[in-house]
Chain A
């Protein structure tokens, strides 16, 4: 007769352990890392581009890019003043701690203050795979619709900040900001939120100030 053995282990515990190692490596080098997640087309790349542009000269920025095909490639990142590593996910739906571990090895952490990790555009899988960043950021956008927190609760649950992008489109799209924010509030009470437009630049300074303050506080600690 087979015998039942209790296991009670989180299925992704191996990834979680490795994420903790990544986190320790970033911390030892006093590098603040963020994991930027979003659905395809929400504006991850635009936000990162604006962020690199806005903070270059103030912070030394490195990028780990996991998008399968992005317009903001390593060359453009370097042109904007960041050092960049491209991860080939081979069509995978998310980054995991192993991919990030090997990418960290290709960055000179000692010469950086901030590492921005661009996850694969997807509102489901990246939520489950911790990478070892200090903070994770979700980029939402007005044209996606105001029901996204309700449809993808897992993604909204675990993030430290939500950036609501493309607010310049509010006059043209039926998007109930109250309804959207109520969903976020239930799923992730008190989460930091930004409303901005990467295109018009409206609201960007608040995001840049917040991120810069986070990095400085972390490096001082």
Chain B
């Protein structure tokens, strides 16, 4: 359900950019999804196959790049990946922490064909 809305957005953005480039076909999409962005790849792929039918993006490959969560302690500057229920800084115990990666939810690039070559 959630993934359908997301997949529709992905298609809309891809088609808009392809149109600007006068593309005749979209062959691949490159998505960047952070670990803390809730999205199920398989589910997006499932909807993609259905909703891209009849568009120039039909059959395009979806490439997912997953970005692991990285936290930076604001007290001692230590950078780390959270392990399960340990979110606080493992070095100094501080809870003043900044999320520096892992919340991405972007369409980074598309591969297109133009003309008839």
**Interface residues, chain A, CB within 8 Å of chain B?**
2-15, 91-94, 96, 124-125, 127-129, 147, 150, 153-154, 157, 182-183, 185-187, 189
Contacts and interface: CB of A to CB of B under 8 A. Distances in A.
Interface residues of B, number: 41
A92 B1 contact: yes
Interface majority SS (helix, strand, loop, mixed), chain A: mixed
12 contacts: A7-B17, A7-B110, A10-B105, A11-B105, A12-B6, A13-B9, A93-B2, A124-B2, A125-B2, A128-B6, A150-B84, A154-B36
Contact of B38 (A3, A4, A124, A189): A124
A8 B107 CA distance: 6
Contacts of A93: 1-2
Interface of B: 1-2, 5-6, 9-10, 12-14, 17-18, 21, 23, 25, 27-28, 30-31, 36-38, 71, 84-85, 87-88, 95-97, 99, 103, 105-114
A154 B85 contact: no
Contact of A12 (B97, B105, B114): B105
A8 B87 contact: no
B13 A13 contact: yes
B39 to A, nearest CB: 9
A4 B112 CA distance: 6
Contacts of B109: 4-8
B6 A7 contact: no
A182 B5 contact: no
For the complex of A and B, 10 pairs with smallest distance between CB atoms:
A2-B111, A186-B87, A125-B2, A185-B95, A2-B27, A150-B85, A93-B1, A186-B95, A124-B38, A7-B107
Contacts of B112: 2-3, 5
A174 to B, nearest CB: 15
B101 to A, nearest CB: 13
B34 to A, nearest CB: 9
Nearest to B2: A125
B13 A94 contact: no
Nearest to A96: B5
Contacts of B113: 2-3
A194 B112 CA distance: 51
Nearest to B89: A186
